[in-house]
């Protein structure tokens, strides 16, 4: 059963993948395979000060150690600047882009429009006259340019998530290009998903609130302008540490290399992750391929996962 579409795992290479990231990767791979889609890997290394090729290589090696193989070589966002610039140009040609000079503080202090979501851009720079834009541009420090924002129409967009149900968000004038020249996440992710033929977006559920903006942007870039992008959205629960905070290095043995140092092999880590999803019995040796047929979306846990190990690495399951 091939749909011709694709699912993807899109890690940011700013640290080794931890059990929560690896669990999301397994789910992205399983959902793609179970629905006859290609399973793609994309390295989201736009944040150059925080990302490195070495780190990406370690992430890719860890995914391979779990038995996750991908269709085709990974796509690196750092190679894709021309595509992001072309997308911004096409939006600008439709008068959907404007320069913004606001600092974070300006945005926090500006009065918010009624019904706008917290953190939404209040539209301060939306209608600046050209001479004011020139003046503000000239006053920027050397090497800085104004940020570029999408001229949205403030509509509410609803995405229908396979696990989370309907989620509605008001699309504000979000950033496409930052003042330091870095392409914004929301733009890059959609330009790449469209270019890679992705029609299944699986990732951790902390990004659910970004989905309405991204669906709207995808509709603009594909010329439908109806605010809808017919991708399957699947936002999966995060992994948390014992303190209830998002899983991190400080919680103990959370990466494959931490676990190996304790004698826990990658196949055992796969079992631990699969068991946490109800896809394997504790200690049952499994391969990712065996799990494809076991995937029943409605039976997956809907709450965050706190791996059953202690800071010192004693696996308690």
- Residues of this chain that bind ligand GLU (CB under 6 A): 10-12, 44, 189, 203, 207
Pick between residue 22 and residue 189 the one whose CB is nearest to ligand GLU.
Answer: 189
Nearest distance, CB of residue 299 and ligand GLU, angstroms: 23
DSSP state of 231: P
Block residue for tokens 């004038």: 173
Question: Cβ of residue 10: shortest distance to ligand GLU, in angstroms?
Answer: 4
Residue, CB closest to ligand GLU: 203
Please state the closest distance from residue 192 (CB atom) to ligand GLU, in A.
9
Residue 68 or residue 189: which is nearer to ligand GLU going by CB? 189
- Which residue, among 172, 169, 149, 166, has the nearest Cα to 157 in the 3D structure? 169
Residue closer to ligand GLU (CB basis): 12 or 200: 12
Among 201, 196, 195, smallest CA distance to 214 is for 201
> Is the distance from CB of 47 to CB of 301 less than 8 angstroms?
no
Report the alpha-carbon distance of residue 191 to residue 177 in Å, rounded.
13
**CA distance readout (Å), 45 to 14, 54, 65:** 8, 11, 22
| CA–CA distances in Å: residue 37 to residues 70, 231, 301 | 11, 12, 23
Q: Cα(28)–Cα(10) distance, rounded to whole angstroms?
A: 9
Supply the Cα-derived Rg of the chain in whole angstroms. Answer: 21
* Min dist. Cβ of residue 106 to ligand GLU (A): 27
Q: Kindly tell me which of 203 and 251 has the beta carbon lying closer to ligand GLU.
A: 203
Closest contact distance (angstroms) between CB of 204 and ligand GLU is 6
Q: CB-wise, 187 or 280, nearer to ligand GLU?
A: 187
Report the distance separating Cα 312 and Cα 304, nearest Å.
Answer: 21
Alpha-carbon span 284 to 53, nearest angstrom: 34
Considering the complex, state which of residue 170 and residue 207 has its C-beta at the smaller distance from ligand GLU: 207
Q: Which is nearer to ligand GLU, 40 or 253 (CB)?
A: 40
Structure tokens at 140: 């920027």
Minimum CB separation of residue 12 from ligand GLU in Å reads: 4
Shortest separation between residue 101's beta carbon and ligand GLU, angstroms:
28
């Amino acid at each position: 059963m091939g749909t011709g579409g694709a699912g993807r795992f899109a890690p940011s290479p700013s640290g080794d993948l931890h059990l929560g990231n690896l669990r999301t990767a397994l789910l992205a791979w399983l959902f793609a395979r179970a629905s006859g889609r290609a399973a793609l890997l994309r390295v989201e290394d736009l944040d150059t000060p925080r990302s490195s090729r070495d780190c990406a290589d370690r992430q890719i090696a860890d995914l391979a150690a779990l038995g996750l193989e991908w269709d085709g070589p990974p796509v690196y966002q750092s190679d894709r600047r021309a595509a992001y610039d072309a997308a911004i140009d096409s939006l600008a040609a439709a008068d959907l882009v404007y320069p913004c000079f606001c600092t974070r503080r300006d945005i926090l202090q500006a009065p918010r429009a009624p019904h706008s979501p917290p953190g939404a851009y209040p539209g301060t720079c939306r209608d600046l006259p050209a001479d004011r834009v020139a003046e503000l541009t000239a006053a920027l420090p050397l090497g800085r340019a104004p940020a570029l924002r999408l001229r949205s129409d403030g509509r509410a967009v609803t995405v229908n998530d396979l696990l989370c149900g309907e989620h509605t968000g008001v699309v504000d004038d979000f950033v496409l290009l930052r003042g330091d020249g870095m392409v914004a996440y929301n733009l890059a992710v959609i330009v790449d998903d469209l270019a890679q033929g992705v029609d299944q977006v699986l990732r951790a559920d902390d990004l659910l609130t970004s989905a309405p903006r991204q669906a709207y942007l995808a509709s603009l870039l594909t010329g439908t302008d109806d605010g809808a992008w017919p991708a399957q959205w699947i936002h999966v629960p995060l992994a948390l540490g014992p303190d209830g905070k998002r899983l991190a290095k400080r919680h103990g043995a959370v990466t494959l290399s931490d676990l190996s140092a304790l004698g826990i092999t990658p196949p055992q880590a796969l079992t631990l992750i699969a068991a946490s999803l109800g896809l394997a019995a504790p200690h049952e040796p499994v391969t990712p391929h065996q799990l494809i047929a076991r995937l029943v979306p409605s039976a997956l846990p809907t709450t965050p996962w706190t791996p059953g190990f202690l800071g010192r690495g004693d696996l308690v399951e």
